[in-house]
Amino acid sequence: MKVLFIGDVVGGPGRRGLAAAMPELRERHAPDMVVVNGENSAGGMGITEKTAKAIFDAGVDVITSGNHVYRHREVYGYLNRSDRIVRPANYPYANPGRGYTVVEVGGRRVGVINLSGMVGLKVARSPFIEVDSILEKIECDFAIVDFHAEVTSEKVAMGWHLDGRVAGVLGTHTHVPTADARVLPQGTAFISDVGMTGSRTSVLGVKPELVLEQMITQMPVKFETAEEDVWVMGAVVTVNDAGLADAIEPVMVPAPL
């Protein structure tokens, strides 16, 4: 079974790029399941019901998120209603949404777990302790983890922590694809960051001149999503009958816009 995991979709350009690229990605990789991080899909920061539905309409099975998930209050009710969108499981339990879900694909129950790193980000509980608790109770044939974290050391540590227990640990949040994709010794596919789906003529999806102005002047600047040279980035994980990974292949393709 193949799972296509797509990194942070940034704004309208990212949504349109994802939709445009999906036919080619399906033809090339023949994924049985598609998981997309959509936490930046609304104007480059946050997610709404409208942008989530646009992602689902592109043929996506599950949406993961991260630290910007609560940017737009209008999405709170949708996070509670939908069982196909998840937010970091180690946020306060009373927060809107759920931290993991299980969907049936091709006769197999696939768990999708969302976690936030604790280095440089605000969480209620350690992601390491939280994922242990989830794996004790989740009922699925295999699980995929979106680890939304700042630092590579924490991401790599999570890969080793979960090696042999989940099919894949895929890093998101930093928007820059890393070159460390591999299957760990006990069968867990790992990559520190799959990258983003958005403009490469940008600084992490934002118009470069705006980011430069903010960094140089250290004054508040309203960011706008860049639109040129949109690419779709992610990874394909091949999962065997034992629920572990046989292979991981990074994905980086220009969107045919």
Q: Give the separation between CA 254 and CA 228, rounded to whole angstroms.
A: 11
Retrieve residue 10's tokens: 């940034």
175 is catalytic: no
Residue type, 134: I
Question: Are the beta carbons of 155 and 173 closer than 8 angstroms?
Answer: no
Q: What is the DSSP letter of 201?
A: S
**73 DSSP assignment:** G
| Contact between residue 200 and residue 225 where contact means Cβ atoms under 8 Å apart | no
Among the listed residues 29, 68, 72, 161, the single catalytic one is 68
DSSP per residue, 30-56:
--SEEEEE-TTTTTTS---HHHHHHHH
Closest alpha carbon to 16 in 234, 230, 252, 235: 230
Active site residues: 68
